[in-house]
Amino acid sequence: MKFSWRVVALWSVLALVIGFFFWQGAFTNAPADTSKNAASTRMTYGRFLEYLDADRVTNVDLYDGGRTAIIEANDQDIENRVQRWRVDLPINSPELINKLKEHKVIFDAHPIRNDGAIWGLLGNLVFPVLLITGLFFLFRRSNNLPGGPGQAMNFGKSRARFQMEAKTGVKFDDVAGIEEAKEELQEVVTFLKQPERFTAVGARIPKGVLLVGSPGTGKTLLAKAIAGEAGVPFFSISGSEFVEMFVGVGASRVRDLFKKAKDNAPCIIFIDEIDAVGRQRGAGIGGGNDEREQTLNQLLTEMDGFEGNTGIIIIAATNRPDVLDSALLRPGRFDRQVTVDAPDIKGRLEILEVHSRNKKLDPSVSLDAIARRTPGFTGADLANLLNEAAILTARRRKDTITLLEIDDAVDRVVAGMEGTPLLDSKSKRLIAYHEIGHALVGTLLKDHDPVQKVTLIPRGQAQGLTWFTPNEEQGLISRSQLKARITGALGGRAAEEVIFGAAEVTTGAGGDLQQLSGMARQMVTRFGMSDLGPLSLESQQGEVFLGRDWTTRSEYSESIASRIDAQVRSIAEECYENAKKIIRENRSVTDRLVDLLIEKETIDGEEFRQIVAEYTVFPDQQQFVPHL
């Protein structure tokens, strides 16, 4: 077992403290003369005077400067045998000596021994010396460690992790699904390794590359791959590590970082989450954060100032490029902005192949099928998906990961942990009609995504779920597709009203209504898909940026606002009536699907479509005719 030197030092100091107090207590409580211990019986001072008046006291020894006496007296209770008692004398008793002389008592005064005082003095001198020596070695050792107590004067030093040859264990071959970003960054690595290929035609090395993308898309992984491939000194730091509560510390750390980088040029500096220090200046209430702005100013100067920084490449990552200062984004500082998007189906397949290298997959598992089922998943999501499947496999004591574990892992990642199935009751039947309503309306609409699964097994906060999976990647969405999605979202509410009546409509459609209201409003105000015409009436700024959009500015008049509300309501009502019509005209297949769902608790998409095809001909132009 390994022990930390800090723990050993602290325990040593603690042992010294405890030992010192025990030592002091031992000498403080030590008797001045061991002969006093011969008298184990105590006698009060009043009784001592009675014995003295009765001439029964024969001998008295005084100790502790006259505060304690050991007397020898005849005890009448035991045949006048001589006994020894210990008596505590009062401080002021000058008449005692005279009385002893009157009764001709032999007495003697013993001087106070100074052994305890001498040892106490030695203890008071030795202990501070030992304590100071221990603390000296403790702080001396701490001075050599980053972040130790001895580093109090090093606030202005850079905290960047430095590696002469970065050994991240990640190469470009380990990064999949973002080929365009890899190509851009491979040029940077090639420039560092073979600069003559570019300088021969007059090209200069880029000063900065900004990686922009949603969380989990692989920005930090790309930086690790660059560090592993470049073979040059590599500095890595987070944007939040520049700024401290002390004014000027951030700017000092920036200067120290670039000074170290210039001494090791050519090299790479990676700044993760640069939006923590690179936010737009003057964007805070009350003037903003002066310390952060000073740090940003120093960073701008170091990246492209009067002196320059030849041979240093800055790579930064952020998922909030909209809040960065414009001076930071200009060419000369960040010459390139590389967008790291969520992977398409081909990219997801490549990512799954990378993360499945060390997984024992069953031969029946198709990575292509998993890639098709996971649109919108990032690289981090896919890695987590396979890890969850492996955990489920180990929990179920299986040797290989099967498709069942993959499906359960997808459901767990998307919707949450699996809950306890509901008992067969009115509530379970109502939830079944709600979910079948979603699935049936989505299946019978021409422009809706196909249903992938319908289940009554609770997950997360949902008591039942319906999954829809698009057949292909959708970059652009048409007006008919948006209306189909709104109609499908209203399918559950429509089924409740058609089957049980308006009085039995539940709160289960709360999330659906919130989702479709947002889509309908965007159709009117952003996409120009209403009678108001092709106008963008609201900005796409989703969040308030302090100092710039703090006050909400209306971009249209009150009359236009009322017309927007009317158009949103019209779209929702039209889609709702269409959903109820579909449920009414397909009541028989709805009832059969509900009975099957209650029995099996889960129906996959293929089985669902086969049952619907037995009752309904899939028509075009949203015409729904029951199959008689």
Please list the active-site residues.
435
Phi, psi (deg, nearest 5) at residue 2: -95, 135
Q: 224, 272 in Cβ contact below 8 A?
A: no
- As to burial, measured by CB atoms within 10 angstroms (0-12 exposed, 13-18 middle, 19+ buried), residue 152 is exposed
- How many other CB atoms sit within 10 Å of the CB of residue 78? 9
> What tokens were used for 574?
């039209």
Give the list of residues 6+ apart from residue 275 with CB closer than 8 angstroms, or none: 239, 318, 319, 320, 321, 323, 324
Widest Cα–Cα separation across the chain: 139
Unique residue bearing structure tokens 């170290």: 260
Taking CA atoms, 597 is separated from 174, 250, 371, 588, in Å, by 43, 61, 27, 14
CA separation for the pair 313, 192 (Å, rounded): 9
Residue type, 281: R
User: Given strand 106-109, what is the order of strands in its sheet?
Assistant: 41-43, 81-88, 68-75, 57-63, 106-109
Helix then strand count (H, E) for the chain reads 21, 14
CA separation for the pair 550, 565 (Å, rounded): 24
CA separation for the pair 384, 407 (Å, rounded): 13
